[in-house]
Amino acid sequence: SQQGEEDPQALSIQEGENATMNCSYKTSINNLQWYRQNSGRGLVHLILIRSNEREKHSGRLRVTLDTSKKSSSLLITASRAADTASYFCATDEETSGSRLTFGEGTQLTVNP
């Protein structure tokens, strides 16, 4: 079953603009991760935020986590055409032991 729900399902912006994607989940987590997938290929890990962290940065990426609302957001600043991809949040649940539970993803299109 899918725990994470991403919002929006699809997002289209112009190069240079910022892109914000949101993720909601249902259970207690150890950490939340964001992955990127280009056109049916493998997923690439972008960033991990632990349950006791509220914000994390990596280059043009900024992730926030609100465990009280069970939600996270991924901000990509100064987007580029090469950022066009699907973005997935994935939760490492406290009781899962061994699995990541992925949302259904946000399809981001950055127009040149």
Binding site for another protein (CB under 8 A): 1-2, 4, 30-31, 33, 35, 40-45, 48, 88, 90, 92, 96-105
Q: Least distance in Å: CB of 74 to another protein? A: 15
Direct distance between the N- and C-terminal alpha carbons of the chain, in angstroms, rounded to an integer? 36
Pairing outcome for strands 29-37 and 106-111: unpaired
Looking at beta carbons only, is 98 or 112 nearer to another protein? 98
Q: Least distance in Å: CB of 53 to another protein? A: 13
User: Within 13 Å and on the Cβ side, how many CA atoms surround 110?
Assistant: 19
Q: Least distance in Å: CB of 97 to another protein? A: 6
